[in-house]
Amino acid sequence: MRPADEHYINAIRNNDRKGLQQLYQEFLPRISAFIRKNGGKDADAKDVFQDALIVIFKKVQEGDFQLTSGFYTLLYGICRNLWGNRLQKKSGNEVSIPEDYKYTGEAGLSQLLEQQEEEQIFWDAFRQLGQDCQQLLQWFFAKVKMAEIAERMEYSSVGYAKKRKFQCKEQLIQRVKADARYSELMNN
């Protein structure tokens, strides 16, 4: 692996703020140019870029990650696939991308890409919640005890914390169900 590529992979592996900032400076403009030329905006590029980094993060977390191409080739390939999938969904599946066009440079990557698309529905729904619900649910999903959550949130009782947790989670679940991508997900 080239030293620069290793630097970027380590920045992702270690969640290193400075290294990740360099990665944005170096590669986001090129990805933005690609997305803009294929019907997207800079905001789409930022989303796709972030999702691609998360895909690589998960791949690296698996522990057996071997970069078989240059880092940018991998990043660009993932962005292209993610954006292609989104274009396809935007167009109501009228647009199709042949399987052999899709980037499959790293083993197990296509599975991670599918997983990423699926999980994005949950993250998008989560981001629409109010700040207090987001905070409460973050601790709940991290398995912090309800008594501890009640204390941190300065609720009057554990019973109220449970009720509030239910309300927040219900909002989350309803938002997921209202997402057009959800029915497609459950049918797969």
Partner 1 sequence: MQEQYERIEAYLDGTLPEPERKAFEAELEGDKTLAAEVELHRRVHRTLGNADEWAFRRNLEAISEAYEAPGENGKPGNRSALRLLLGILILITVASLLYYFFMPAPDAEPAEPPAIEQPAPSPTAPEEVPEEEAVEETTPSNAPEAPPVANTPPNQPNPALEALVAASPLSTTYELAIEARLSGQNFTLEGEMLSAQYEDGQSVILTLFDNQPDNYPYAPLHTGEIQVMEIDEDAPIAFAAKKAYFLTYEAALDLPAGLYYYVIRVDGEAEALWVGKVER
Binding site for partner 1 (CB under 8 A): 2, 12, 15, 17, 20-21, 24-25, 28-30, 32-34, 37-38, 42, 46, 49-50, 53-54, 57-58, 61, 70, 72-73, 76, 84, 87-88, 91, 95-98, 100-101, 118-119, 122-123, 126, 137-138, 141-143, 162-163, 166, 169-170, 172-173, 176-177, 186
Token output for 128: 């629409």
- Write down the least CB distance from residue 37 to partner 1, Å: 6
Using alpha carbons, select from 62, 60, 101, 55 the residue that is nearest to residue 79. Answer: 55
* Other beta carbons within 10 Å of 114: 12
φ/ψ of 117, rounded to 5, equals: -60, -40
Using alpha carbons, select from 20, 15, 14 the residue that is nearest to residue 75. Answer: 20
- Write down the least CB distance from residue 15 to partner 1, Å: 5
Alpha carbons 155 and 71: distance in angstroms, whole number: 47
Using alpha carbons, select from 115, 156, 147 the residue that is nearest to residue 139. Answer: 147
- Write down the least CB distance from residue 157 to partner 1, Å: 15
Alpha carbons 105 and 73: distance in angstroms, whole number: 9
Q: With respect to partner 1, which residue has the nearer C-beta, 12 or 149?
A: 12
- Write down the least CB distance from residue 118 to partner 1, Å: 7
Alpha carbons 182 and 13: distance in angstroms, whole number: 30
**DSSP state letter for 106:** S
- Write down the least CB distance from residue 141 to partner 1, Å: 4
Q: With respect to partner 1, which residue has the nearer C-beta, 9 or 172?
A: 172
